[in-house]
Structure 1
Amino acid sequence: MSQNPDLIVAAPLWPHGDSSLMHLMRRAGQHSTTCWAQCIDTGLSAVQYAILVVLAEETCCDQQTLGNRAGFDKATGTYVIDRMTKSGLVNVVVDPDNRRRKLVSMTEDGEDMLERMVEQAKSAEKTIASGLNEQDIRDLKRLLSKLGGLQEP
């Protein structure tokens, strides 16, 4: 094993030691993606689903607000919203009061897609939490919220 403590902290996995936080987060992300793919048959990503959920609550909102609520950055949002527009799930129009803003709303096809995905998303949530008890789930949500700079659930 290396004598360099910086290498040890950043190591993905030592045979008889602890894993780094970054490695564990990456592996958890991979597991999350796998669970989503196993449960969702629509081809939509978790970000696209989050956008539909926000638009179901907001009806219409600007891209910045949508990004803040759904948890994505501007570059990701532009790409994903363009894809969703081409798929007919959302409409994008220029805000008549501020031409620099774009307003996003869900189409009827988007509403149908959201309705179809709700049970699948619940199944993905249940799959990823399998093996965890209720306290583990509460602790995990609290810690992930803290790491993500979000309010605690």
Structure 2
Amino acid sequence: MPSMFILSSTNSITYSSSTIYIYTCMKLTQITTNSYSYKLQQVQQPNAGYERLWFSADSAICDTSVSIPTIEFHVLVKQGMADSAAITFPDKLLFSADYKYMTSTGAEDCDTTSDTMDMCTDKTALSFNNYTNCKQEIAYSADFLSNVISN
């Protein structure tokens, strides 16, 4: 069951003699014991760089009627609990493949057939194998492993 978490600015601004505070409403949904997904439950504000914020002199107002695009979600994972927050990849995403890394100069690196990306051996993690030939950090993972934490 989703719940609402409201964040309020501690500083205010004055506009037309009113004291205005800034709010954001996070609609939280538990994924696992150690992870939640959330959507910012507010319309985009053109005067605030299209951020999903609410400006009010009275109180926080979360617009639960706003339809937020499915792709526009964020994930929170309890510190140190990424492994326990991992979920199984959806079947449609399971595969193993060779990969190549292209440097900023356009040169190919990691281009042997033993450099593979694997989602089949461990269905909760995307792993990059054979770092004997390729020492390049891939997908922002120093341990060459990325977990799926939301689907």
In the superposition, the TM-score normalised over structure 2's length comes to 0.25
Q: Which has the larger radius of gyration?
A: 2
Name the structure with the higher helix share.
1
Tell me which of the two structures has the higher relative contact order, counting C-alpha pairs closer than 8 angstroms and 6 or more residues apart.
1
Name the structure with the higher strand share.
2
